[in-house]
């Protein structure tokens, strides 16, 4: 296990370097001069040049990339728009995104696994059709449209929950449902398919024929063996939530990392955008690593030396 962990950690480094280089080059292909954007319409050429000199925007791309990497690891890399270290700007936003994604993945996992098990144990019944119908709607409905519908129902019509922002537990409910319900639909479909495959195995039929209670067979034996693909899907969905909650954060005015990165793109804040993308990539990579390590606790046969 230790050797496997070391190998995976060593593989993470070139992935992050590639992501940082790709995001750096793509941002510099976007039309527009960040120095002019920051200086404003009434700025003189001297003012614009001073901003370029301060942030190294007039230097060769290789030197700018080195300044970005060295400044990021030393903590001296500053946001162009706020003039503050990017770490100080990113960490609160990333913390808000992690909180939202964490609650959303709990909703997605509990609801998705429950629906998947229910559909698999009632195959081809109206319960199965209803569960898979919900999954189809959840997969098909755009997140921003689902968020707007929830706002209209629970905030505008019923006045039960706040429209947006982050101000207590009640403000988490609508964004987490918006982000979690589509993921729950995907988890439900995977759980159903995996459970149906396991329930048709000989050892499950043998356990039932030997008189074991059906609930014990389903939840203790079948579910544990069906969890490997489900855990994979849950891990991928959690990674997507950490990096792809932009629409949800925009609809609900959630002060998260995705919304901050999108805003920084419009202001041409290169250091903040590059650092945000790199942080999202790191989160996704480490979530996948955690999922791989979780496999061995679910199925001892998958333990690595």
pTM assigned to the model: 0.82
Distance CA 262, CA 246 (A): 8
* CA angle in degrees (0–180, nearest 5) for 264-270-274: 90
Spatial distance between the Cα atoms of 226 and 195, rounded to a whole number of angstroms = 6
Contact 115, 127 (CB under 8 A): no
Answer yes or no: are the C-beta atoms of 303 and 296 closer than 8 Å. yes
Which homologous superfamily is 90-270 in? MetI-like (1.10.3720.10)
One pLDDT digit (tens) per residue for the chain, 305 residues: 677 677 777 888 888 888 888 888 877 777 766 777 777 677 777 877 887 787 777 788 888 888 888 888 887 888 877 778 888 888 888 888 889 999 999 999 999 999 999 998 888 898 889 988 888 888 888 888 888 999 999 989 888 888 888 888 888 899 999 999 999 999 999 999 998 888 888 888 888 888 788 888 888 778 888 888 888 888 888 888 887 677 888 888 888 888 888 888 877 788 888 888 888 888 888 888 887 777 767 666 655 55
């Amino acid at each position: 296990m230790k050797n496997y962990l070391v190998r995976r950690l060593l593989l993470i480094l070139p992935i992050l370097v590639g992501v940082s280089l790709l995001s750096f080059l793509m941002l510099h292909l976007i039309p527009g001069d960040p120095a002019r954007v920051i200086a404003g319409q009434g700025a003189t050429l001297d003012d614009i040049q001073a901003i370029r000199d301060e942030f190294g925007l007039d230097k060769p791309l290789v030197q700018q990339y080195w300044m970005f990497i060295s400044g990021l690891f030393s903590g001296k890399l500053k946001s162009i728009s706020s003039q503050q270290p990017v770490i100080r700007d990113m960490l609160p936003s990333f913390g808000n995104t992690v909180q939202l994604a964490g609650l959303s993945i709990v909703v997605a996992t509990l609801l998705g696994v429950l629906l998947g098990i229910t559909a698999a144990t009632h195959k081809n019944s109206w319960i199965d059709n209803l569960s898979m119908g919900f999954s189809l709607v959840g997969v098909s409905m755009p997140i921003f449209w689902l968020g707007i519908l929830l706002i209209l129902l629970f905030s505008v019509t019923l006045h039960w929950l706040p429209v947006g922002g982050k101000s207590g537990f009640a403000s988490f409910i609508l964004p987490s449902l918006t982000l979690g319900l589509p993921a729950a639909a995907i988890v439900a479909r995977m759980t159903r398919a995996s459970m149906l495959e396991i329930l048709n195995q000989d050892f499950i039929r043998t356990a039932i024929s030997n008189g074991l209670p059906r609930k014990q067979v389903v939840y203790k034996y079948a579910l544990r063996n069906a969890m490997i693909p489900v855990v994979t899907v849950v891990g991928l969905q959690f990674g997507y939530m950490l990096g792809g909650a932009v629409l949800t954060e925009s609809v609900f005015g959630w002060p998260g990392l995705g919304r901050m990165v999108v805003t920084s793109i419009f202001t041409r804040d290169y250091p903040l955008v590059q650092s945000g993308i790199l942080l999202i990539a790191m989160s996704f990579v480490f979530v996948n690593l955690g999922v791989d390590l979780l496999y061995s606790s679910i199925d001892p046969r998958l333990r690595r030396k």
